[in-house]
A and B are shown apart, each in its own frame.
Chain A
Amino acid sequence: MNVQYLKTDFLVVGGGTAGTMAGIKAKQASPDSDVLILEKANIRRSGAIAMGMDGVNTAVIPGNSTPEQYVREITIANDGIVNQKAVYETGRLGFEVIQELESWGVKFQKDHEGNYDLKQVHRVGKYVLPMPEGKDLKKILARQVKRHKVNVTNRVMATRVMVQNGRVTGAVGLDVRNGDMVVIQAKAVVLCTGACGRLGLPASGYLYGTYENPTNAGDGYSMAYHAGAELTNIECFQINPLIKDYNGPACAYVASPFGAYTANAEGHRFINCDYWSGQMMLEVYKELHSGKGPVHLKMYHLDDDTINEIETILWDNERPSRGRFHAGRGESYSTHGVEMNISEIGLCSGHSASGVWVNERAETTVSGLYAAGDMASVPHNYMIGAFVYGRIAGENAMDYVRDLEHVEPDHEFLAAEQARIYAPLQRPDGVPHTQIEYKLRRLVNDYLQPPKSPNNLDIGLQKFVAYEDTLNLMGAQDPHELMRCMEVHFIRDCAEMAARASLFRKETRWGLYHYRLDYPEKNNEEWFCHVNLKKGKAGHMELFKRAVEPYIVDVDLVEEVYDVAVR
């Protein structure tokens, strides 16, 4: 096995939405510095936006809405548990990001007068900006990365962040093609590795049939944890209403402005807002258990031209294989509703609120370590939030690194990490990662899928802790399998965090996301706070309450309860 040594001023781990922007903005802020993007796949087509996006979900465009209105909307949708200053930045900087993307050739929908054609999907304001021609988004970003002279190392997966004397000093990775160990010294690091998309097992049983790009296995959650950073709201799971079996978004966001809506089997509405939230998921859950399911996205009442237009958008962008999924079943939107189901659980701040704790400067609680995108704790941040926080991290990191020197890696740490990464290769006939992962994720479904019962959470927790030993049975025959083995380590860490955080918060909040059967009510007196966790001194997971930062925008949470049920 070879070891490659690299050095950079600023290391970006994960070249997806947030990561490409972090690299570009760092170079714009400090053109003479060395910036390196480390990417497990290839930045040309990686991550959530590999095939583009149907639209911007959180666009605050002057004349349509204000950052204050946006903060209010997200505060209410997230049951008050937000750092408003962090949410505010997404509203404040989102417009500039959209304009810059446009200058690079990304197309957003405009009306006849050339104004942005915003749609209302959220409960109150208009924040959804369609991008029917969004399919080349990632290629455009990759081009800008090159133009800005950001270095890129593709097909290397980070496995651990290096921290020495309380400060980030780089990261360790695995070349997933040739099996080299890669040691990167850096003065600052931003983690942008996306959601934990491979936590629960999809009902189809296919390990990679997930909502999220399955490359995103919770890598950053686990790496930040082992680096000593705090994570937050982990019990606020990501659960989505998805096309049954296909597990992609049914896309009411795209279709509802055309007149589509989510309906029960009788064709009736049961929610009055299609914006994804735990409260909405709870209504879907209730409907499915009321005998009025299955639920579906209803379009068959629309005229053919409208349906054709919706299909053109949905079958071309984002998840372009959905057309052939429906065709294979002989279904069309003019005759059939899109049957929907409740997804398996994941962790994601982009859609929900579970992530590595960051403030409005994208700083984690470890000096020199930043986080951005789906894995960083700014709730409901979606794509524009990922761009905004990539930008904030890139700019702030270049300030931070200015007078710093590189630090020699700790050789004991490297030896331990080398032993951990390559252990499965010593057991080529060990249990395949596929079986180890399948069982782990099946246990996640069995014990963590809401509604949550304390005894189940407890059993789950014990099983996830014991699974540390099971991981030692895993065998690999090549570097590719080794990558998958390391991902199973990440998934196990996330499962343990999810169980512990869910046990800790003794109330119900965020609708279905944290519905505790033994504490079915919201309890603001005791639980109007974040639940944070981190690796304690003895190496055990520590959980604690963290106060909600003082609001900067007034919200009356007693008056404004998020409720989307049709009664």
Chain B
Amino acid sequence: MALTTQRVDVPVIVDESKCLEKCVACIEVCPLDVLVKNPDTGKAYMKYDECWFCLPCEKECPTGAITVQIPFLLR
């Protein structure tokens, strides 16, 4: 089967300059389990565009690195 990689606008933005390498707070609380660490940089990012715009990730981030936008299709 032919597969393609499509670009999508994801709701969660991580300010990498504020993201702490040892922290996993946002990753642990996300009910949809869509955030992961980039193994090369140690920074969190949204790997899967499956978001309920519920905000635990943003609220529990100790440095305010996360901004959740309303997903584009709903905005």
Contact = CB atoms under 8 A, between A and B. Distances in A.
Given A46-B31, A480-B33, A319 B71 contact: no
Contact of B55 (A46, A214, A320, A475): A320
Contacts of B56: 45, 50-51
B32 A475 contact: no
B54 A319 contact: yes
Interface residues of A, number: 39
Contacts of B48: 480
Contact of A206 (B3, B30, B60, B71): B71
B29 to A, nearest CB: 4
A215 interface: yes
Contact of A475 (B1, B31, B68, B70): B1
A430 interface: yes
A209 B73 CA distance: 9
Contacts of A247: 74
Interface in A25-63: 41-42, 44-47, 50-51
B50 interface: yes
B31 A325 contact: no
A155 B54 contact: no
Contacts of A44: 28-29
Contact of B1 (A205, A321, A431): A431
Interface residues of B, number: 26
Contacts of A321: 53-55, 68, 70
Q: Which of A46, A176, A210 has the most CB of B within 10 A?
A: A46
A418 interface: no
A41 B31 contact: yes
A50 B31 contact: yes
Contacts of A430: 1
Contacts of B28: 42, 44
Interface in B50-75: 50-56, 59-60, 68-71, 73-75
A213 B56 CA distance: 13
A208 B50 contact: yes
Contact of A41 (B33, B59, B70): B33
A50 B71 CA distance: 19
A168 B75 CA distance: 45
Q: Which of B32, B60, B68, B75 has the most CB of A within 10 A?
A: B32
Q: Which of B1, B47, B59, B60 has the most CB of A within 10 A?
A: B1
B71 A209 contact: yes
Contacts of A209: 52-53, 71, 73-74
Given A44-B29, A321-B53, A246 B70 contact: yes
A429 B74 contact: no
30 contacts: A41-B30, A41-B31, A42-B30, A44-B28, A46-B31, A47-B31, A51-B54, A51-B56, A176-B33, A204-B71, A204-B74, A206-B74, A207-B50, A208-B51, A208-B52, A209-B73, A213-B54, A214-B50, A215-B32, A320-B55, A321-B53, A321-B54, A321-B55, A321-B70, A325-B74, A329-B75, A430-B1, A475-B1, A480-B33, A480-B48
Interface of B: 1, 3, 28-33, 47-48, 50-56, 59-60, 68-71, 73-75
Interface of A: 41-42, 44-47, 50-51, 155, 176-177, 204-210, 213-215, 245-247, 319-321, 324-325, 328-329, 429-432, 475, 480, 483-484
Given A51-B55, A484-B50, 18 more contacts: A41-B30, A45-B54, A45-B60, A46-B31, A206-B73, A206-B74, A207-B50, A208-B51, A208-B71, A209-B52, A209-B53, A209-B71, A213-B54, A214-B50, A245-B74, A324-B69, A429-B1, A480-B33
- The 3 A-B residue pairs with the shortest CB-CB distance, nearest first, are A45-B56, A41-B31, A45-B29
